[in-house]
Amino acid sequence: MNRISMGKTLWIGLAIALAASRPAPAADALPKADTILDKYVEVTGGKAAYSKLRTETSTGTMEMGAMGVKGTVVSYHAEPNQSFVETTLGGVGKIVEGSNGDIAWEMSAMQGARIKEGDEKGQALLHARFNGDLNWRDLYSKVETVGTESVDGKECYKLVLTPKSGNPLTKWYDKTSGLLVKMTVKAKSPMGEIESDSFLSDYRKEGDILLPHKVVSKAGPIEFSMTIVSVKYNEDIPKDKFDLPAEIKALQKK
């Protein structure tokens, strides 16, 4: 082998070795879940605006299109973790559920009165936490960005949030706007564990807070939609609104 061909061979071998020693181009790193959750707070009003909230009263309508069932929803929430939600459905009756911060309960014509226990209680108290979006660090033991997916044509970051009690939640946040567009949760119920997908849209401002006014939820073959009609913040709510109903107190004594 002449010197020219030998030198060429050595050069090619050296180039291959150097190329092999270089790290492969890394895929775009996913942003931390902390960053995405904090961004959601900022784009929907900011920490200062959320921190001023003490109570929330909202009204809305509900519809189960395939079943032809329509109804109304009225909810009351107050810091730190008190809630009262009353749903009235035509042909079904009234469903009332609430939390006084320690006990989560439900009453309906179909199932009567009951006190939630275990993971179901944990999930109810999680959702009853006032200003949960602002105080997410108090609610979850672990949050992580697990990938990207498209939801209704929007490129989204997919997050898994593990609460201190109960099943993890999966949430999708629009890469561009930072808004929450989808949520999946496995909820405990007397009928077992039910997985539901909720799609959030029609974000509009109520006071200083930007929030979705339409939620479409799907659980198996059942689909229902809820439309928010009004939201009022920091209005006085009678303290006894969050008291345990007599039927629930009776269950405590058993």
pLDDT, tens digit (0-9, with 9 covering 90-100), for 152-170: 999 999 999 999 878 899 9
Give the span between the Cα atoms of 226 and 60, in whole angstroms: 7
DSSP single-letter state for residue 159: E
Q: How far is CA 22 from CA 17, 19, 25, 121, in A?
A: 9, 5, 9, 53
Residue 145 lies in a domain: yes
Residue 9 lies in a domain: no
Give the span between the Cα atoms of 36 and 201, in whole angstroms: 18
Tokens of 229: 């009609």
pLDDT average per 10 residues of sequence, the chain (254 residues): 38 36 52 98 98 98 86 96 95 92 92 91 91 95 98 97 90 98 83 86 97 94 93 94 95 88
DSSP single-letter state for residue 164: S
pLDDT in tens, 123-135: 899 999 999 999 9
Residues in the chain: 254
The pTM of this model reads 0.84
Tokens of 161: 């949030």
Residue 12 lies in a domain: no
Contact present, 76 and 241 (Cβ < 8 Å) = yes
Percent helix / strand / coil, the chain, rounded to 5: 25, 45, 25
pLDDT in tens, 91-131: 889 999 999 999 999 999 888 999 999 888 988 999 999 99
Count of structural domains, the chain: 1
Q: What was the pLDDT predicted at 4? A: 38
Residue 19 lies in a domain: no
Structural domain harbouring 133? 30-253
Residue 126 lies in a domain: yes
Residue 43 lies in a domain: yes
Give the span between the Cα atoms of 147 and 184, in whole angstroms: 15
Q: Are strands 69-78 and 82-89 parallel, antiparallel or unpaired?
A: antiparallel
Query: What is the amino acid identity at position 117?
Result: E
Contact present, 166 and 158 (Cβ < 8 Å) = no
Q: How far is CA 74 from CA 57, 61, 95, 97, 155, in A?
A: 8, 9, 11, 11, 33
Residue 220 lies in a domain: yes
What's the CATH number where 188 sits? 2.50.20.10
Q: What are the residues whose beta carbons fall under 8 Å from the beta carbon of 72, sequence distance 6 or more?
A: 59, 60, 61, 62, 87, 88
Residue 240 lies in a domain: yes
